[in-house]
Amino acid sequence: MTTSAQLSIVVPTFNETANIAVLVERLSDSLGPLNWEVIFVDDDSPDGTATEVRRLAREDGRIRCVQRIKRRGLSSACIEGMLASSAPYIAVMDADLQHDETLLPTMYSTLQDEALDIVVGSRYVAGGDASAFTDDRARKSELATRMSRMVVPESLQDPMSGFFMITRQAFESCMRNLSGIGFKILMDLFASAPEPLRFKELPFTFGQRFAGESKLDNQALWDYGMLLLDKLFGRFVPVRFVAFIMVGGIGVAVHMGLLTLFYQGMDYGFVTSQVGATLVAMTVNYVINNVITYRDLQLKGVDWLKGWFSFVLACSIGALANVGVAGYLFSQQTAWLLAGFAGIVVGAVWNYAITQLYTWHAQ
Ligand code: GDD
Ligand code: MN
């Protein structure tokens, strides 16, 4: 009987077909006799990354594939990969060979020999290097690092790193508090730990991407803000709700603009104008929420149409609830401004709760 892996390497992938075989070969070379496995977590990449992983897995039992359907997200992929592992040590690294796999044996021995929970591959300690970054990217990374100090230890030089190794015990202590939002899984782990993680940073040179292209876009910036908010205030209010309300604010502006256009500019009747403005505003809200608030569960194709229908239906009922509550409170002598506001709150909470369940099927 062979014993199970001592070290799992979790690799999130999206459109990385051309990097998989090279990465596995390099892992094999640097880890030598160590008992390891690699778990690729692929979000149903259109380029067939999962098929490529399984092709290799049929020849090598150390390769595993977790394929997620209709899901997106680097952090959540890493978390699910770590949950699929039984090994006492778990590493996370990118598929594109920007992370130096020859550091893994040192990370492993450091974790074994010293009283540590996590070892971080760091670009910003002496000997590390991130010159592969463009100036603009380096500036953003620096700003993000500075902001992260609100939720991670000051002395951690590279909380934005996506390359680290953690003990199973430490991971399990954090796993129920993780946000799983966006790109920054390391920051999430540090900010979720009930006891401060004992860590050490080992320098490495952040290389050039081998094949394919980076998935870090402006959305990642928004996700970063959401992760930070969730870590700071998530105990009190779900961060998706905050995003939903912000998008709702955009909807109100669109609504008022269109109402003015239809009623004043185009001479439609008031009710017709209001109905038109409402429908367009709801659709705009739906589109933005689908792309931003629920990007990880984004609806496409026929599902998009079904989603739009359920969203409009839910929000229409929300509007009735809004008017019902406000009307009742007003009839009970509540000040009109307060009654109106209470109606909005009830409507917004209803819209959020129902569409999260029936439009995007979030848990
Ligand atoms: N499953 C899954 N789902 N994987 C994803 C997704 C996703 O939605 N988005 C990206 N990935 C995978 C990529 O396929 C790659 O293997 C890895 O996550 C990193 O993505 P890149 O697109 O290469 O990111 P980057 O190089 O710009 O940023 C990396 O380096 C930064 C600096 O260390 C990431 O590791 C960042 O987290 C890190 O901050
Ligand atoms: Mn990369």
Topology of domain 7-213 in CATH is Spore Coat Polysaccharide Biosynthesis Protein SpsA; Chain A (3.90.550)
The dihedral sign for the CA sequence 51, 60, 117, 144:
negative
DSSP conformation class of 132 = T
pTM of the model: 0.86
CB 4 within 8 A of CB 87: yes
Q: How far apart are CA 361 and CA 244, in angstroms?
A: 15
Q: What is the helix (H) or strand (E) element at residue 248, kind and residue range?
A: helix 239-259
Question: Could you report the per-residue pLDDT of 71-84, keeping only the tens digit for each?
Answer: 999 999 999 999 99
Would you say the CB of residue 42 lies under 6 angstroms from ligand 1?
yes
Mean pLDDT throughout 193-220? 90
- CA 174 / ligand 2 centre spacing (Å): 25
Pocket test for ligand 1, best of 215, 224, 297 (most atoms within 8 A of CB): 215
For the ranges 64-73, 120-129, 133-142, 245-254, the lowest mean pLDDT is seen at 133-142
pLDDT digits over 279-312, tens only? Answer: 999 999 999 999 989 988 999 999 999 999 999 9
pLDDT over 70 for what percent of the chain? 99
Phi, psi for 86 (deg, rounded to 5): -115, 0
User: What's the CA-to-centroid distance between 157 and ligand 2, angstroms?
Assistant: 19
Are the C-beta atoms of 192 and 87 separated by less than 8 Å? no
pLDDT of 2 higher than 70: no
Q: What is the mean pLDDT of the chain?
A: 93
pLDDT-derived band of residue 137, with 50, 70 and 90 as boundaries? confident
Query: Looking up tokens 């380096």, which residue turns up?
Result: 138
Residue of 26, 94, 99 to mutate, ligand 1, most atoms within 8 A of C-beta: 94
Question: Cβ(161) to ligand 1 under 6 A?
Answer: yes
Give the pLDDT score at 1.
62
Provide the H-helix boundaries in 289-335. Answer: 302-331
Q: Answer yes or no: is the C-beta of 71 below 6 A from any ligand 1 atom.
A: no
Residue 139 pLDDT > 90: no
Both structure tokens of 206: 């952040």
pLDDT in tens, 189-200: 999 999 999 999
Nearest CA to ligand 1 atom 12: 13
Task: Please tell me if the CB atom of residue 98 comes closer than 6 angstroms to any atom of ligand 1.
Answer: yes
Residue from 105, 79, 85, 84 nearest 27 by CA: 105
Burial of 219-249, coded b for 16+ CB within 10 Å and e otherwise, reads ebebbbbbbbbbbeebeeeebbebbbeebbe
Where do the domains of the chain lie? 7-213, 239-358
Contacts 24+ apart (CB under 8 A), 250-254: 250/284, 250/285, 250/288, 251/281, 251/282, 251/284, 251/285, 252/281, 254/280, 254/281, 254/284
What is the average pLDDT across 232-253? 90
Can you tell me which atom of ligand 1 is nearest the CA of 216?
27
Taking the C-alpha atoms of residue 200 and residue 107, their distance in angstroms, rounded to an integer, is 9
Tokens standing for residue 252: 């109100």
